[in-house]
């Protein structure tokens, strides 16, 4: 199977679907002539022209709203948020219009819209340019929210997203654009609402999504080698719809779970995962579900502070040891 970067896999999904379907257009800031801030759309304007790869002014409310209108008129627009941080400017369009029009029109209108872009932090962009918005957008009925972590999934889920008749919030792991993996050629889709067991194990269930999945896989290998702890790693992939079944099945096997996320803990995806586990597998649990989350602060700039603000290997290992009732490491920092 060919090896591609996350970025190239994403681009090929959009390009292939644009070849197949003329109603697919791309809109966003500097996605055309400039090539895209993160080069995801690089070269597409040469292939498809400025009528289909539309450079917009820096006005997220306007172009996101216009894309919703295009979708209502039978097109399939894919909007790039240069980063999801800017989507607050478009929040009225996304939440008040895209998520609700189908409902308040009594089912007369569908909004086949994808909004995509990098989510999360890790590159010292500080407070206004660092957010993980999966919990925020996952809150709203009417939206679908996904967060693929591998090149294979990012292509298959983008194809699913573009073909979905409803609005999809496509949260890319910005830190993973350059990572490589096997990506099938041609047309394939990855269904929404299905988590992926990224590593099988029997002692503890680790749940994450986006760039945390790679952290969890690293930790799982380390624990297997050093301490004979066999961790199962679940990549959620899809935040809404949500795959509770895969998580519960895993917990029935391991009886312990640690949920790891970059976003803030309060009212978050990890909180929802913990609630679902206690609702559906209460008697299976040998320990309370542990959550490892971002620090309850706006994102800091300094490198050391930023590292401390996001889940670290140490914090996750301590949480795993906690649910296994093993001793904590001596230098353990309390997770925020």
Partner 1 sequence: MATTQSQGKRRRSEPDPNSNGKAGSRRKQQDQQVDTDKLIGFYQKMIQIRLFEDAALRGFRTGKIGGYLHVYSGQEAVASGFLDTFRDGDYVITAYRDHAHVLLLGSDPKAVMAELYGKGAGLVKGKGGSMHLFDTARGMYGGYGIVGGHIPLGVGMAFGQAYKKTGGITQLYLGDGAIHNGAFHEGANLAGLWGKDGLNPTLFVLENNQYGMGTSVERATAMTDLSRKFESYGIEHTQVDGMDLEAVLTVAHEAADRVRETGKPFAVEAMTYRIGPHGAADFLEKYRTKEEVRKWRERDPIGLLENRLEELGVEDDRLEKIRADAKTLTEEVVAFADESPEPAIEELITDVYTTNDPVRTSG
Minimum Å distance from CB 163 to partner 1? 10
Does residue 19 touch partner 1 according to CB under 8 A? no
> How many whole angstroms from its chain centre is CA 329?
31
**Residue 191 and residue 307: Cα distance in Å, rounded?**
33
Does residue 56 touch partner 1 according to CB under 8 A? yes
**Residue 19 and residue 158: Cα distance in Å, rounded?**
15
Does residue 61 touch partner 1 according to CB under 8 A? yes
Q: Give the x/- contact pattern for partner 1 in 182-201, rule: CB under 8 A.
A: -----------x--------
CA-wise closest residue to 65 among 170, 160, 167: 167
Minimum Å distance from CB 102 to partner 1? 6
Taking CB under 8 A as the binding criterion, the range among 33-41, 100-108, 174-182, 256-264 that sits at the site for partner 1 is 100-108
Q: Give the x/- contact pattern for partner 1 in 264-303, rule: CB under 8 A.
A: --------x---x--xx-----------------------
Non-local CB neighbours of 131 within 8 Å, separated by 6+ positions: 84, 85, 119, 120, 121, 263, 299
Tokens of 12: 């090929």
What is the maximum alpha-carbon separation in the chain?
61
Give the angle 35-78-242 at the CA atoms, nearest 5°.
125
**Residue 266 and residue 336: Cα distance in Å, rounded?**
11
Residue of 129, 139, 227, 284 with catalytic role: 129
Length of the chain: 336
Does residue 307 touch partner 1 according to CB under 8 A? no
Shorter beta-carbon distance to partner 1: residue 21 or 185 = 21
Q: Which of 2, 21, 46, 103 binds partner 1 (CB under 8 A)?
A: 103
Q: Give the x/- contact pattern for partner 1 in 140-169, rule: CB under 8 A.
A: -xx-x-------------------xxx---
Residue of 60, 80, 152, 306 with catalytic role: 60
- The answer to whether residue 17 is catalytic is no
Taking CB under 8 A as the binding criterion, the range among 151-159, 237-245, 295-303, 309-317 that sits at the site for partner 1 is 237-245
Tokens of 176: 């993973």
Shorter beta-carbon distance to partner 1: residue 72 or 154 = 72
Does residue 134 touch partner 1 according to CB under 8 A? no
Q: Give the x/- contact pattern for partner 1 in 206-235, rule: CB under 8 A.
A: ------------------------------
3-state helix, strand, coil in the chain (%, to 5): 40, 20, 40
**Residue 311 and residue 262: Cα distance in Å, rounded?**
6
- The answer to whether residue 60 is catalytic is yes
Q: Which of 13, 25, 115, 159 binds partner 1 (CB under 8 A)?
A: 25
Tokens of 313: 């290997």
Tokens of 193: 């609402």
**Residue 15 and residue 38: Cα distance in Å, rounded?**
16
Shorter beta-carbon distance to partner 1: residue 17 or 164 = 164
For residue 120, the tally of other CB atoms under 10 A from its CB is 28
**Count of residues interacting with partner 1 (CB under 8 A):** 53
DSSP 35-80: --TTSTTTTHHHHH-TTTEEE--S-HHHHHHHHHHHHHTT-EEEEE
Q: Just list the catalytic residues.
A: 60, 129
Residues lying near partner 1 in the complex (CB under 8 A): 23, 25, 51, 56-57, 59, 61-75, 77, 92-93, 96-97, 101-110, 141-142, 144, 164-166, 193, 240-242, 244-245, 248, 272, 276, 279-280
């Amino acid at each position: 199977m060919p090896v591609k970067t996350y970025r190239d896999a994403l681009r090929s999904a959009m390009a292939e679907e644009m070849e197949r379907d003329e109603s697919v257009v791309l809109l966003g800031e500097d996605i055309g002539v400039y090539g895209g801030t993160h080069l995801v759309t690089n070269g597409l304007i040469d292939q498809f022209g400025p009528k289909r790869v539309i450079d917009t002014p820096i006005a997220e409310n306007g172009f996101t709203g216009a894309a919703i209108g295009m979708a209502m008129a039978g097109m399939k627009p894919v909007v790039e948020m240069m980063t999801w941080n800017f989507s607050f400017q478009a929040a009225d369009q996304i939440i008040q219009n895209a998520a609700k029009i189908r409902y308040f029109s009594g089912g007369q209108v569908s909004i086949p819209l994808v909004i995509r872009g990098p989510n999360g932090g890790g590159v010292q962009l500080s407070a206004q340019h660092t957010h993980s918005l999966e919990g925020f957008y996952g809150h709203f009925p009417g939206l679908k929210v996904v967060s693929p972590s591998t090149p294979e999934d990012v292509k298959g889920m983008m194809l699913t997203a573009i073909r979905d008749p409803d609005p999809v919030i496509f949260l890319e792991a910005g830190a993973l654009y350059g990572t490589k993996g096997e990506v099938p050629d041609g047309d394939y889709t990855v269904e929404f609402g299905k988590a992926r067991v990224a590593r099988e194990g029997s002692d503890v269930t680790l749940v994450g999504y986006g760039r945390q999945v790679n952290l969890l896989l690293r930790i799982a290998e380390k624990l297997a080698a050093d301490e004979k702890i066999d961790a199962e790693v679940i990549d959620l992939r899809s935040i809404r719809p949500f795959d509770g079944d895969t998580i519960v099945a895993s917990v029935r096997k391991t009886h312990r779970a640690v949920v790891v996320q970059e976003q803030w803990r309060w009212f978050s995806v990890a909180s929802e995962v913990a609630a679902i586990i206690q609702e559906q597998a209460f008697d299976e649990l040998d320990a309370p579900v542990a959550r490892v989350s971002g620090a309850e602060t706006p994102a800091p700039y300094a490198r050391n502070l930023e590292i401390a603000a996001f889940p670290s290997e140490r914090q996750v290992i301590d949480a795993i040891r906690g649910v296994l009732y093993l001793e904590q490491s001596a230098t353990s920092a309390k997770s925020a």
